[in-house]
Chains A and B, each alone.
Chain A
Protein backbone atom coordinates (compact mmCIF):
# COMPACT_ATOMS: atom_id res chain seq x y z
CA UNK A 1 0.00 0.00 0.00
CA UNK A 2 2.74 2.49 0.92
CA UNK A 3 4.56 1.44 -2.23
CA UNK A 4 1.54 2.53 -4.25
CA UNK A 5 1.61 6.04 -2.82
CA UNK A 6 5.40 6.31 -3.11
CA UNK A 7 5.01 5.40 -6.78
CA UNK A 8 2.17 7.85 -7.22
CA UNK A 9 3.95 10.80 -5.66
CA UNK A 10 7.18 10.13 -7.54
CA UNK A 11 5.55 11.40 -10.74
CA UNK A 12 5.42 15.19 -10.71
CA UNK A 13 2.58 15.26 -13.25
CA UNK A 14 0.47 13.10 -10.96
CA UNK A 15 1.18 15.39 -8.04
CA UNK A 16 0.21 18.38 -10.17
CA UNK A 17 -2.97 16.61 -11.22
CA UNK A 18 -3.77 15.83 -7.59
CA UNK A 19 -3.24 19.37 -6.27
CA UNK A 20 -4.60 21.31 -9.25
CA UNK A 21 -7.47 18.90 -9.73
CA UNK A 22 -8.46 19.03 -6.06
CA UNK A 23 -8.57 22.82 -6.18
CA UNK A 24 -10.68 22.78 -9.34
CA UNK A 25 -13.00 20.16 -7.82
CA UNK A 26 -13.36 22.26 -4.68
CA UNK A 27 -14.24 25.43 -6.64
CA UNK A 28 -16.62 23.50 -8.88
CA UNK A 29 -18.53 22.11 -5.91
CA UNK A 30 -18.80 25.49 -4.15
CA UNK A 31 -19.93 27.35 -7.27
CA UNK A 32 -22.10 24.36 -8.12
CA UNK A 33 -24.11 24.75 -4.91
CA UNK A 34 -25.34 28.14 -6.07
CA UNK A 35 -25.70 27.12 -9.73
CA UNK A 36 -27.73 23.99 -8.95
CA UNK A 37 -30.01 25.78 -6.49
CA UNK A 38 -30.71 28.66 -8.88
CA UNK A 39 -31.51 26.16 -11.65
CA UNK A 40 -28.51 27.23 -13.69
CA UNK A 41 -26.89 23.80 -13.38
CA UNK A 42 -27.13 23.11 -17.11
CA UNK A 43 -25.03 26.19 -17.82
CA UNK A 44 -22.04 24.19 -16.60
CA UNK A 45 -22.78 21.47 -19.13
CA UNK A 46 -23.37 23.95 -21.95
CA UNK A 47 -20.19 25.86 -21.22
CA UNK A 48 -18.06 22.72 -21.26
CA UNK A 49 -19.24 21.96 -24.80
CA UNK A 50 -18.46 25.52 -25.85
CA UNK A 51 -15.02 25.06 -24.30
CA UNK A 52 -14.57 21.89 -26.37
CA UNK A 53 -15.19 23.80 -29.60
CA UNK A 54 -12.85 26.60 -28.55
CA UNK A 55 -10.16 24.13 -27.52
CA UNK A 56 -10.31 22.35 -30.89
CA UNK A 57 -9.90 25.67 -32.71
CA UNK A 58 -6.99 26.64 -30.45
CA UNK A 59 -5.16 23.36 -31.09
CA UNK A 60 -5.80 23.58 -34.85
CA UNK A 61 -4.19 27.02 -34.95
CA UNK A 62 -1.48 25.90 -32.50
CA UNK A 63 -2.25 28.71 -30.04
CA UNK A 64 -2.56 28.50 -26.26
CA UNK A 65 -5.72 26.59 -25.34
CA UNK A 66 -6.40 28.75 -22.29
CA UNK A 67 -5.98 31.99 -24.18
CA UNK A 68 -8.64 31.07 -26.75
CA UNK A 69 -11.14 29.10 -24.71
CA UNK A 70 -11.33 31.31 -21.62
CA UNK A 71 -12.70 34.46 -23.33
CA UNK A 72 -14.98 32.39 -25.59
CA UNK A 73 -16.46 30.47 -22.64
CA UNK A 74 -16.92 33.64 -20.60
CA UNK A 75 -18.74 35.32 -23.49
CA UNK A 76 -20.96 32.25 -23.80
CA UNK A 77 -21.67 32.32 -20.05
CA UNK A 78 -22.88 35.91 -20.20
CA UNK A 79 -24.92 35.21 -23.31
CA UNK A 80 -26.65 32.25 -21.62
CA UNK A 81 -27.34 34.21 -18.43
CA UNK A 82 -28.79 37.06 -20.48
CA UNK A 83 -30.94 34.77 -22.59
CA UNK A 84 -32.40 32.88 -19.66
CA UNK A 85 -33.04 35.96 -17.51
CA UNK A 86 -34.62 38.02 -20.29
CA UNK A 87 -37.04 35.18 -20.98
CA UNK A 88 -36.81 35.72 -24.72
CA UNK A 89 -35.63 32.17 -25.25
CA UNK A 90 -36.08 29.29 -22.85
CA UNK A 91 -32.86 28.88 -20.88
CA UNK A 92 -32.53 25.12 -21.34
CA UNK A 93 -33.26 25.35 -25.07
CA UNK A 94 -30.68 28.11 -25.47
CA UNK A 95 -28.06 25.99 -23.69
CA UNK A 96 -28.81 22.91 -25.80
CA UNK A 97 -28.57 24.96 -28.98
CA UNK A 98 -25.28 26.60 -28.09
CA UNK A 99 -23.67 23.40 -26.81
CA UNK A 100 -24.54 21.24 -29.83
CA UNK A 101 -23.44 23.98 -32.24
CA UNK A 102 -20.06 24.38 -30.54
CA UNK A 103 -19.63 20.61 -30.33
CA UNK A 104 -20.22 20.46 -34.10
CA UNK A 105 -17.67 23.22 -34.73
CA UNK A 106 -15.15 21.38 -32.56
CA UNK A 107 -15.58 18.02 -34.30
CA UNK A 108 -15.37 19.56 -37.79
CA UNK A 109 -12.25 21.56 -36.93
CA UNK A 110 -10.64 18.42 -35.52
CA UNK A 111 -11.48 16.33 -38.59
CA UNK A 112 -10.06 19.06 -40.88
CA UNK A 113 -6.81 19.12 -38.89
CA UNK A 114 -4.56 16.20 -39.82
CA UNK A 115 -3.13 13.85 -37.23
CA UNK A 116 -5.36 14.83 -34.32
CA UNK A 117 -7.40 11.68 -33.81
CA UNK A 118 -5.79 10.73 -30.52
CA UNK A 119 -6.42 14.22 -29.16
CA UNK A 120 -10.14 13.97 -29.88
CA UNK A 121 -10.42 11.15 -27.39
CA UNK A 122 -8.54 13.02 -24.69
CA UNK A 123 -10.54 16.21 -25.34
CA UNK A 124 -13.78 14.37 -24.82
CA UNK A 125 -12.84 12.20 -21.88
CA UNK A 126 -9.84 13.95 -20.38
CA UNK A 127 -6.28 13.06 -19.67
CA UNK A 128 -4.44 13.13 -16.40
CA UNK A 129 -1.29 14.27 -18.20
CA UNK A 130 -2.78 17.60 -19.19
CA UNK A 131 -2.33 19.60 -15.97
CA UNK A 132 0.53 21.96 -16.81
CA UNK A 133 2.45 24.25 -14.47
CA UNK A 134 0.51 27.24 -15.86
CA UNK A 135 -2.79 25.44 -15.20
CA UNK A 136 -1.72 24.80 -11.63
CA UNK A 137 -0.97 28.49 -11.06
CA UNK A 138 -4.37 29.39 -12.45
CA UNK A 139 -6.09 26.79 -10.31
CA UNK A 140 -4.50 28.34 -7.22
CA UNK A 141 -5.60 31.84 -8.30
CA UNK A 142 -9.14 30.63 -9.00
CA UNK A 143 -9.49 28.91 -5.66
CA UNK A 144 -8.20 32.00 -3.89
CA UNK A 145 -10.90 34.09 -5.60
CA UNK A 146 -13.63 31.57 -4.76
CA UNK A 147 -12.41 31.29 -1.17
CA UNK A 148 -12.42 35.08 -0.74
CA UNK A 149 -16.01 35.27 -1.95
CA UNK A 150 -17.17 32.43 0.26
CA UNK A 151 -15.47 33.80 3.35
CA UNK A 152 -16.47 37.45 3.05
CA UNK A 153 -19.73 37.42 1.11
CA UNK A 154 -21.17 34.05 1.99
CA UNK A 155 -24.35 35.57 3.43
CA UNK A 156 -24.95 37.68 0.34
CA UNK A 157 -24.43 34.67 -1.87
CA UNK A 158 -27.02 32.81 0.18
CA UNK A 159 -29.50 35.66 -0.19
CA UNK A 160 -29.08 35.86 -3.97
CA UNK A 161 -29.32 32.08 -4.32
CA UNK A 162 -32.38 31.71 -2.12
CA UNK A 163 -34.43 34.65 -3.35
CA UNK A 164 -33.15 36.92 -6.08
CA UNK A 165 -36.11 39.31 -5.86
CA UNK A 166 -35.74 39.85 -2.15
CA UNK A 167 -31.98 40.26 -2.52
CA UNK A 168 -32.53 42.98 -5.13
CA UNK A 169 -34.97 44.76 -2.83
CA UNK A 170 -32.31 44.61 -0.08
CA UNK A 171 -29.93 46.51 -2.33
CA UNK A 172 -27.80 43.53 -3.37
CA UNK A 173 -26.83 43.68 -7.05
CA UNK A 174 -28.06 40.22 -7.99
CA UNK A 175 -27.11 40.67 -11.64
CA UNK A 176 -23.52 41.37 -10.62
CA UNK A 177 -23.39 38.24 -8.47
CA UNK A 178 -24.79 36.05 -11.21
CA UNK A 179 -22.20 37.50 -13.59
CA UNK A 180 -19.40 36.83 -11.12
CA UNK A 181 -20.57 33.24 -10.62
CA UNK A 182 -20.70 32.74 -14.39
CA UNK A 183 -17.13 34.05 -14.83
CA UNK A 184 -15.76 31.84 -12.05
CA UNK A 185 -17.66 28.84 -13.39
CA UNK A 186 -16.16 29.50 -16.84
CA UNK A 187 -12.61 29.51 -15.43
CA UNK A 188 -13.34 26.33 -13.48
CA UNK A 189 -14.66 24.56 -16.56
CA UNK A 190 -11.79 25.59 -18.82
CA UNK A 191 -9.22 24.55 -16.22
CA UNK A 192 -10.83 21.24 -15.37
CA UNK A 193 -11.87 20.30 -18.87
CA UNK A 194 -8.63 18.89 -20.22
CA UNK A 195 -8.27 16.70 -17.19
CA UNK A 196 -11.88 15.56 -16.80
CA UNK A 197 -12.91 15.81 -20.46
CA UNK A 198 -15.46 18.07 -22.12
CA UNK A 199 -18.23 15.56 -21.63
CA UNK A 200 -17.51 14.94 -17.97
CA UNK A 201 -16.41 18.24 -16.39
CA UNK A 202 -19.98 19.35 -15.64
CA UNK A 203 -20.31 16.44 -13.22
CA UNK A 204 -17.90 18.19 -10.82
CA UNK A 205 -20.37 21.09 -10.66
CA UNK A 206 -23.55 19.07 -10.44
CA UNK A 207 -22.87 15.90 -8.40
CA UNK A 208 -21.44 17.25 -5.11
CA UNK A 209 -24.24 19.77 -4.37
CA UNK A 210 -26.94 17.26 -5.31
CA UNK A 211 -25.37 14.62 -3.09
CA UNK A 212 -25.07 17.12 -0.22
CA UNK A 213 -28.74 18.09 -0.62
CA UNK A 214 -29.70 14.46 0.11
CA UNK A 215 -28.15 14.77 3.56
CA UNK A 216 -28.40 18.40 4.68
CA UNK A 217 -31.32 20.72 5.26
CA UNK A 218 -29.31 23.90 5.81
CA UNK A 219 -27.44 25.99 3.26
CA UNK A 220 -24.31 25.93 5.39
CA UNK A 221 -24.48 22.15 5.67
CA UNK A 222 -24.99 21.72 1.93
CA UNK A 223 -22.06 24.03 1.15
CA UNK A 224 -19.69 22.22 3.49
CA UNK A 225 -20.72 18.66 2.67
CA UNK A 226 -20.64 19.50 -1.03
CA UNK A 227 -17.05 20.78 -0.79
CA UNK A 228 -15.94 17.89 1.38
CA UNK A 229 -17.54 15.15 -0.71
CA UNK A 230 -16.13 16.70 -3.88
CA UNK A 231 -12.59 16.61 -2.47
CA UNK A 232 -12.93 13.06 -1.18
CA UNK A 233 -14.49 11.78 -4.42
CA UNK A 234 -11.87 13.51 -6.57
CA UNK A 235 -8.82 12.28 -4.69
CA UNK A 236 -10.10 8.75 -4.19
CA UNK A 237 -11.17 8.63 -7.84
CA UNK A 238 -7.73 9.77 -8.95
CA UNK A 239 -5.93 7.13 -6.85
CA UNK A 240 -8.37 4.48 -7.97
CA UNK A 241 -7.89 5.27 -11.65
CA UNK A 242 -4.11 5.17 -11.21
CA UNK A 243 -4.25 1.86 -9.38
CA UNK A 244 -6.67 0.24 -11.83
CA UNK A 245 -5.04 1.83 -14.87
CA UNK A 246 -8.34 3.38 -16.00
CA UNK A 247 -8.98 6.90 -17.40
CA UNK A 248 -9.23 9.29 -14.44
CA UNK A 249 -12.21 11.47 -15.54
CA UNK A 250 -14.76 8.66 -15.82
CA UNK A 251 -13.57 7.00 -12.60
CA UNK A 252 -13.98 10.31 -10.71
CA UNK A 253 -17.48 10.73 -12.16
CA UNK A 254 -18.42 7.20 -11.09
CA UNK A 255 -17.09 7.74 -7.56
CA UNK A 256 -19.26 10.89 -7.40
CA UNK A 257 -22.25 8.92 -8.65
CA UNK A 258 -21.57 6.27 -5.99
CA UNK A 259 -21.48 9.00 -3.36
CA UNK A 260 -24.83 10.31 -4.58
CA UNK A 261 -26.38 6.84 -4.33
CA UNK A 262 -24.90 6.32 -0.87
CA UNK A 263 -26.27 9.65 0.41
CA UNK A 264 -29.67 8.88 -1.15
CA UNK A 265 -29.71 5.54 0.65
CA UNK A 266 -28.86 7.23 3.97
CA UNK A 267 -31.70 9.68 3.42
CA UNK A 268 -34.09 6.87 2.61
CA UNK A 269 -33.14 4.93 5.76
CA UNK A 270 -33.40 8.08 7.88
CA UNK A 271 -36.89 8.80 6.60
CA UNK A 272 -37.98 5.24 7.16
CA UNK A 273 -36.75 5.48 10.73
CA UNK A 274 -38.54 8.80 11.26
CA UNK A 275 -41.75 7.28 9.99
CA UNK A 276 -41.38 4.27 12.27
CA UNK A 277 -40.77 6.40 15.36
CA UNK A 278 -43.77 8.56 14.42
CA UNK A 279 -45.96 5.46 14.20
CA UNK A 280 -44.74 4.17 17.58
CA UNK A 281 -45.81 7.40 19.24
Chain B
Protein backbone atom coordinates (compact mmCIF):
# COMPACT_ATOMS: atom_id res chain seq x y z
CA UNK B 1 0.00 0.00 0.00
CA UNK B 2 1.41 3.33 -0.96
CA UNK B 3 0.71 6.70 0.52
CA UNK B 4 -1.36 9.10 -1.57
CA UNK B 5 -1.73 12.13 0.70
CA UNK B 6 0.08 13.44 3.75
CA UNK B 7 -1.25 16.52 5.49
CA UNK B 8 1.04 18.03 8.08
CA UNK B 9 -0.38 20.70 10.40
CA UNK B 10 -2.38 22.23 7.56
CA UNK B 11 -4.55 25.30 7.88
CA UNK B 12 -6.88 26.98 5.38
CA UNK B 13 -8.17 30.53 5.46
CA UNK B 14 -11.49 31.55 3.92
CA UNK B 15 -12.33 35.24 3.71
CA UNK B 16 -9.17 35.87 5.77
CA UNK B 17 -10.62 33.71 8.55
CA UNK B 18 -8.90 30.45 9.48
CA UNK B 19 -11.58 27.76 8.98
CA UNK B 20 -9.32 24.72 9.27
CA UNK B 21 -6.16 24.74 11.35
CA UNK B 22 -3.49 22.36 12.56
CA UNK B 23 -4.95 19.46 10.57
CA UNK B 24 -2.78 16.36 10.13
CA UNK B 25 -3.80 13.08 8.53
CA UNK B 26 -2.69 10.61 5.89
CA UNK B 27 -4.45 8.70 3.15
CA UNK B 28 -3.26 5.34 1.82
CA UNK B 29 -4.26 3.45 -1.30
CA UNK B 30 -7.48 1.55 -0.75
CA UNK B 31 -8.71 3.75 2.12
CA UNK B 32 -12.30 4.96 2.31
CA UNK B 33 -12.20 8.24 4.21
CA UNK B 34 -15.46 9.82 5.33
CA UNK B 35 -15.26 13.58 5.93
CA UNK B 36 -18.02 14.67 8.28
CA UNK B 37 -18.84 18.01 9.81
CA UNK B 38 -21.44 20.74 10.01
CA UNK B 39 -21.84 23.50 7.45
CA UNK B 40 -19.07 26.03 7.76
CA UNK B 41 -16.67 23.58 9.41
CA UNK B 42 -14.39 23.80 6.37
CA UNK B 43 -15.21 20.61 4.45
CA UNK B 44 -15.45 22.29 1.07
CA UNK B 45 -12.36 24.40 1.75
CA UNK B 46 -10.44 21.23 2.62
CA UNK B 47 -11.63 19.60 -0.62
CA UNK B 48 -10.42 22.54 -2.67
CA UNK B 49 -7.09 22.24 -0.90
CA UNK B 50 -6.81 18.52 -1.66
CA UNK B 51 -7.64 19.22 -5.31
CA UNK B 52 -4.84 21.77 -5.43
CA UNK B 53 -7.24 24.64 -6.11
CA UNK B 54 -6.53 26.38 -2.82
CA UNK B 55 -3.14 26.87 -1.21
CA UNK B 56 -2.94 26.08 2.52
CA UNK B 57 -2.22 29.16 4.62
CA UNK B 58 -0.05 27.05 6.93
CA UNK B 59 1.47 23.55 6.95
CA UNK B 60 2.18 21.31 3.97
CA UNK B 61 0.26 18.85 1.79
CA UNK B 62 2.33 16.00 0.36
CA UNK B 63 0.91 14.39 -2.78
CA UNK B 64 1.89 11.28 -4.68
CA UNK B 65 3.12 11.81 -8.26
CA UNK B 66 -0.21 10.90 -9.86
CA UNK B 67 -2.13 13.39 -7.73
CA UNK B 68 0.27 16.16 -8.61
CA UNK B 69 -0.88 16.04 -12.25
CA UNK B 70 -4.56 16.53 -11.50
CA UNK B 71 -5.28 12.80 -11.48
CA UNK B 72 -8.11 13.03 -8.98
CA UNK B 73 -11.58 11.80 -9.82
CA UNK B 74 -13.64 14.68 -8.52
CA UNK B 75 -17.42 14.59 -8.19
CA UNK B 76 -18.46 18.16 -7.35
CA UNK B 77 -21.73 19.10 -5.71
CA UNK B 78 -24.35 19.40 -8.44
CA UNK B 79 -25.28 22.91 -9.42
CA UNK B 80 -28.90 23.52 -10.45
CA UNK B 81 -27.87 24.98 -13.85
CA UNK B 82 -26.50 21.60 -14.91
CA UNK B 83 -29.90 19.96 -14.83
CA UNK B 84 -31.05 21.26 -18.20
CA UNK B 85 -27.65 21.20 -19.88
CA UNK B 86 -27.69 19.80 -23.43
CA UNK B 87 -24.91 17.21 -23.44
CA UNK B 88 -24.91 13.48 -24.01
CA UNK B 89 -23.74 11.00 -21.39
CA UNK B 90 -20.79 10.13 -23.64
CA UNK B 91 -19.73 13.77 -24.06
CA UNK B 92 -19.67 14.24 -20.30
CA UNK B 93 -17.86 11.01 -19.43
CA UNK B 94 -15.21 11.66 -22.10
CA UNK B 95 -14.48 15.11 -20.66
CA UNK B 96 -12.99 13.34 -17.64
CA UNK B 97 -9.95 12.58 -19.80
CA UNK B 98 -9.10 16.25 -20.38
CA UNK B 99 -6.65 16.26 -17.45
CA UNK B 100 -4.34 14.29 -19.77
CA UNK B 101 -4.42 16.89 -22.56
CA UNK B 102 -2.64 20.18 -23.11
CA UNK B 103 -3.92 23.25 -24.90
CA UNK B 104 -5.00 21.28 -27.95
CA UNK B 105 -7.62 18.82 -26.86
CA UNK B 106 -8.55 16.12 -29.35
CA UNK B 107 -9.68 12.84 -27.80
CA UNK B 108 -7.61 9.78 -28.67
CA UNK B 109 -8.72 6.18 -29.16
CA UNK B 110 -7.38 5.47 -25.69
CA UNK B 111 -9.63 8.18 -24.24
CA UNK B 112 -12.66 6.67 -25.94
CA UNK B 113 -11.75 3.20 -24.64
CA UNK B 114 -11.42 4.50 -21.08
CA UNK B 115 -14.79 6.26 -21.31
CA UNK B 116 -16.45 3.13 -22.71
CA UNK B 117 -14.99 1.04 -19.89
CA UNK B 118 -16.26 3.45 -17.22
CA UNK B 119 -19.73 3.53 -18.78
CA UNK B 120 -19.77 -0.26 -18.83
CA UNK B 121 -18.69 -0.41 -15.19
CA UNK B 122 -21.53 1.87 -14.11
CA UNK B 123 -24.17 0.39 -16.43
CA UNK B 124 -24.46 3.53 -18.54
CA UNK B 125 -23.85 1.97 -21.94
CA UNK B 126 -27.49 1.90 -22.97
CA UNK B 127 -27.93 5.59 -22.29
CA UNK B 128 -24.62 6.76 -23.73
CA UNK B 129 -26.28 8.90 -26.42
CA UNK B 130 -29.07 10.20 -24.22
CA UNK B 131 -29.10 13.80 -23.07
CA UNK B 132 -28.06 14.59 -19.50
CA UNK B 133 -31.18 16.73 -19.03
CA UNK B 134 -33.50 13.75 -19.66
CA UNK B 135 -31.94 11.61 -16.92
CA UNK B 136 -33.14 11.11 -13.36
CA UNK B 137 -31.15 12.49 -10.43
CA UNK B 138 -29.60 9.12 -9.65
CA UNK B 139 -28.62 8.48 -13.27
CA UNK B 140 -27.03 11.93 -13.45
CA UNK B 141 -24.87 11.20 -10.42
CA UNK B 142 -23.82 7.92 -12.00
CA UNK B 143 -22.75 9.81 -15.14
CA UNK B 144 -20.69 12.26 -13.08
CA UNK B 145 -19.20 9.33 -11.15
CA UNK B 146 -18.20 7.72 -14.46
CA UNK B 147 -16.53 10.99 -15.47
CA UNK B 148 -14.63 10.97 -12.16
CA UNK B 149 -13.53 7.37 -12.73
CA UNK B 150 -12.30 8.27 -16.20
CA UNK B 151 -10.29 11.16 -14.76
CA UNK B 152 -8.57 8.94 -12.18
CA UNK B 153 -8.83 5.23 -11.62
CA UNK B 154 -7.09 5.48 -8.27
CA UNK B 155 -8.70 8.20 -6.16
CA UNK B 156 -12.27 9.45 -6.03
CA UNK B 157 -13.17 12.64 -4.22
CA UNK B 158 -16.92 12.93 -3.73
CA UNK B 159 -18.60 16.06 -2.42
CA UNK B 160 -22.05 15.32 -0.95
CA UNK B 161 -22.85 12.87 -3.76
CA UNK B 162 -26.29 11.83 -2.55
CA UNK B 163 -27.61 15.32 -1.76
CA UNK B 164 -31.09 15.59 -3.28
CA UNK B 165 -31.44 11.88 -4.11
CA UNK B 166 -34.25 9.78 -2.68
CA UNK B 167 -33.36 7.12 -0.05
CA UNK B 168 -33.45 4.09 -2.39
CA UNK B 169 -31.31 5.78 -5.01
CA UNK B 170 -28.90 7.01 -2.31
CA UNK B 171 -28.62 3.49 -0.97
CA UNK B 172 -27.74 2.16 -4.43
CA UNK B 173 -25.20 4.91 -4.88
CA UNK B 174 -23.49 4.09 -1.57
CA UNK B 175 -23.38 0.44 -2.61
CA UNK B 176 -21.73 1.42 -5.88
CA UNK B 177 -19.06 3.40 -4.02
CA UNK B 178 -18.52 0.50 -1.61
CA UNK B 179 -18.01 -1.89 -4.54
CA UNK B 180 -15.58 0.49 -6.20
CA UNK B 181 -13.65 0.79 -2.94
CA UNK B 182 -13.54 -2.98 -2.54
CA UNK B 183 -12.10 -3.27 -6.04
CA UNK B 184 -9.19 -1.07 -4.96
CA UNK B 185 -10.34 2.52 -5.58
CA UNK B 186 -9.40 4.97 -2.84
CA UNK B 187 -12.37 7.11 -1.77
CA UNK B 188 -12.74 10.41 0.04
CA UNK B 189 -16.39 11.24 0.63
CA UNK B 190 -17.80 14.39 2.16
CA UNK B 191 -21.23 13.83 3.63
CA UNK B 192 -23.78 14.88 6.20
CA UNK B 193 -25.05 11.34 6.47
CA UNK B 194 -23.05 9.88 9.36
CA UNK B 195 -25.03 6.62 9.47
CA UNK B 196 -24.48 5.54 5.92
CA UNK B 197 -20.96 6.82 5.52
CA UNK B 198 -19.55 5.22 8.64
CA UNK B 199 -21.06 1.89 7.63
CA UNK B 200 -18.69 1.63 4.65
CA UNK B 201 -15.73 3.86 5.46
CA UNK B 202 -12.40 2.69 6.85
CA UNK B 203 -11.45 6.08 8.32
CA UNK B 204 -13.30 9.15 9.52
CA UNK B 205 -12.28 12.78 9.56
CA UNK B 206 -14.76 14.78 11.64
CA UNK B 207 -14.28 18.53 11.34
CA UNK B 208 -15.67 20.62 14.17
CA UNK B 209 -15.26 24.27 14.97
CA UNK B 210 -11.66 24.57 16.12
CA UNK B 211 -11.18 20.83 16.75
CA UNK B 212 -11.22 17.65 14.71
CA UNK B 213 -11.17 13.89 14.94
CA UNK B 214 -9.18 11.63 12.65
CA UNK B 215 -8.95 7.86 13.05
CA UNK B 216 -10.36 4.53 11.98
CA UNK B 217 -14.11 4.20 11.77
CA UNK B 218 -14.07 1.79 14.74
CA UNK B 219 -12.22 4.31 16.88
CA UNK B 220 -14.64 7.02 15.77
CA UNK B 221 -17.72 4.99 16.65
CA UNK B 222 -16.35 4.54 20.17
CA UNK B 223 -15.34 8.18 20.60
CA UNK B 224 -17.01 10.80 22.72
CA UNK B 225 -17.72 12.82 19.60
CA UNK B 226 -20.04 10.30 17.98
CA UNK B 227 -22.17 10.01 21.08
CA UNK B 228 -23.17 13.65 20.78
CA UNK B 229 -24.16 13.19 17.12
CA UNK B 230 -25.71 9.75 17.21
CA UNK B 231 -27.30 9.27 20.62
CA UNK B 232 -28.01 5.61 21.32
CA UNK B 233 -25.67 4.34 18.65
CA UNK B 234 -22.49 4.38 20.70
CA UNK B 235 -20.72 1.01 21.05
CA UNK B 236 -23.00 -0.74 18.59
CA UNK B 237 -21.13 -3.31 16.54
CA UNK B 238 -19.62 -1.77 13.44
CA UNK B 239 -21.41 -2.44 10.19
CA UNK B 240 -24.80 -3.09 11.79
CA UNK B 241 -27.73 -1.96 9.70
CA UNK B 242 -30.28 0.11 11.45
Residues of A near any B CB (own CB < 8 A): 37-39, 152-156, 158-159, 162-163, 165-172, 213, 216-222
Contacts and interface: CB of A to CB of B under 8 A. Distances in A.
What interface size band does chain B fall in?
Answer: 35 or more
B155 to A, nearest CB: 12
Given A169-B76, A170-B98, A171-B69, 5 more contacts: A37-B81, A37-B86, A153-B104, A217-B88, A218-B129
B168 interface: no
Interface string B7-49: 0000000000000000000000000000000000000000000
A163 B79 CA distance: 9
26 contacts: A152-B103, A152-B105, A154-B105, A155-B94, A155-B101, A155-B105, A155-B106, A156-B101, A162-B82, A162-B92, A163-B82, A165-B76, A166-B95, A168-B51, A168-B53, A169-B70, A170-B70, A170-B96, A170-B151, A171-B70, A171-B99, A217-B86, A218-B131, A219-B85, A219-B87, A219-B88
Given A159-B98, A169-B70, A169-B72, A153 B53 contact: no
B172 interface: no
A217 B130 contact: yes
Contacts of B99: 169-171
A152 to B, nearest CB: 5
Contacts of A156: 98, 101, 103, 105
* Interface class of chain A by DSSP: helix
A79 to B, nearest CB: 22
Interface of B: 51-53, 69-70, 72, 74, 76, 79, 81-82, 85-88, 91-92, 94-96, 98-99, 101, 103-107, 129-134, 147, 151
A39 B101 CA distance: 27
Contacts of A171: 69-70, 99
Given A155-B106, A156-B105, A219-B86, A166 B70 contact: no
Contacts of A168: 51, 53
Contacts of A169: 51-53, 70, 72, 74, 76, 99, 151
A162 B85 contact: yes
